[in-house]
Structure 1
Amino acid sequence: MSTSEIGTNVIFKKQLGLNYEIDQKYVGLKMKENNILSFNFRIPGALKDDVESYFKRFKLGEPILVDIGGTGDIRCEFKGISPVLKNKNEFDQYFLSATLQEDKEYDPIEEEKCETCSGCGFH
């Protein structure tokens, strides 16, 4: 894959190298207020237990990194997981949502590197 191509997988990264990689065709993303990210999974039964058990390993507020298509890690905190719901209209499809909050902490060291910055968005 060249450096300008975006991949098709989403990788969730827990501390100690416990990662979970899934095709983005199963994942929807909604951005909400206060940097809340809702990752909505529409998955076949074969993936249901894997996705659910991965996110059940997290404690509230635990750090998690997310890499969407190889674009780089997004630092987040785990906020919770929804119950697994069966889609009534599909034979073997389930819905699950994992809620994360993006870490947007101010880093004064980075701010000092840009003499004219007043929130330029590059750091």
Structure 2
Amino acid sequence: MSTSDIGNNVIFKKQLGLNYEIDQKYVGLKMKENNILSFNFRVPGSLKDEVEGYFRRFKLGEPILVDIGGTGDIRCEFKGISPVLKNKDEMDQYFLSATLQEDKTYNPLEEEKCESCSGCGFH
């Protein structure tokens, strides 16, 4: 995949190969202080239990990798999941949020860095 070819999926990776892949149209990302990443999911009822169930498997502080559109793994720690809320304006839409903290102490191997990388946080 070339650097201009960013995929449409977000992949969350738990140890032992337990991955969860979801179309990015259902995922919003907010970056907060102290390298906190809030992944906000707006999903139909058919995906609600799947998303919630995946993140309920994590313990606080457990490592998790996130690959956004095939750009490479972001090393994080799991910080928690919000309760599932039903969107009162949409018939079959639910909202939940998974909070992760990016591991800024990770120092990637030279071959993992992109050509123009100046500590972009995605490697």
The normalised TM-score by structure 2 is: 0.86
Q: Distance in 2 between matches of 1:97 and 1:75?
A: 18
Structural RMSD (CA) = 1.8
Q: Distance in 1 between matches of 2:90 and 2:17?
A: 34
Matches within 5 A, 1:13-28: 13-28=13-28
Cα deviations by residue, 1:51-109 (Å, 9 ceiling, x for unpaired): 000000000000000000000000000000000000000000000000000000165xx
Matches within 5 A, 1:6-85: 6-85=6-85
Runs of 4+ in 1 over 2 A off after TM superposition: 120-123
Q: Is the radius of gyration larger for structure 1 or structure 2?
A: 1
| 1:121 CA displacement | 3.1
Question: 1:20 is matched by which residue type in structure 2?
Answer: Y
Look up the SS of the partner of 2:55 in the other structure.
Answer: helix
Q: Distance in 2 between matches of 1:63 and 1:74?
A: 10
Look up the SS of the partner of 2:66 in the other structure.
Answer: strand
Look up the SS of the partner of 1:59 in the other structure.
Answer: coil
Q: Distance in 1 between matches of 2:16 and 2:63?
A: 11
Q: Distance in 2 between matches of 1:30 and 1:19?
A: 21
Question: 2:57 is matched by which residue type in structure 1?
Answer: R
Q: Distance in 2 between matches of 1:121 and 1:9?
A: 23
Conserved 8 A contact 2:75-2:106: no
Structure 1 residue runs of 5 or longer lacking an equivalent are 111-119
Look up the SS of the partner of 1:121 in the other structure.
Answer: coil
The normalised TM-score by structure 1 is: 0.86
Matches within 5 A, 1:98-109: 98-105=98-105, 107=107
Paired residue total? 112
Question: 2:73 is matched by which residue type in structure 1?
Answer: D
Look up the SS of the partner of 1:60 in the other structure.
Answer: coil
